[in-house]
Amino acid sequence: MTEDIFEKEKIGLTPEEGFDLVGIDYFADSDNQLYLVEHFEMYQDALNAKKERKNSEDYFILYRGAGGEYLCR
């Protein structure tokens, strides 16, 4: 998947408020590999949910920063 498509998907999945746990589907089309797992109000809850996943490196947390920037952990 190219970086531009990946960034576009991340921006589209980033919530206005709260934190989204997002997974990567390596077998999906190259422009549709990210999917929403669950939305959380608190970062710690999203982080705990990520840690509970079997392959936690296949998941990341999307959220907006104080300046409206798109952030990913």
59-64 and 70-72 beta bridge pairing: antiparallel
The answer to whether position 55 is within a domain reads: yes
In a domain, 73, yes or no: no
Joined together, the tokens standing for residue 27 give: 């077998």
**Is pLDDT at 62 greater than 80 in this prediction?**
yes
Residue 2 has pLDDT above 70, yes or no: no
pLDDT at residue 46 in the model: 97
Specify the number of domains making up the chain: 1
Note whether residue 27 is domain-resident.
yes
Confidence of residue 1 (pLDDT cuts 50, 70, 90): very low
Task: Give the tokens for residue 29.
Answer: 């089309």
Residue 41, φ and ψ in degrees, nearest 5: -85, -30
Q: Which residue has the higher pLDDT, 65 or 27?
A: 65
Among all chains, which residue has been given the structure tokens 């960034």?
7
In a domain, 11, yes or no: yes
Residue 11 belongs to domain spanning: 3-68
In a domain, 8, yes or no: yes
- pLDDT per residue as tens digits for the range 26-58: 888 777 889 999 999 999 999 999 999 998 889
What pLDDT does residue 13 have?
A: 93
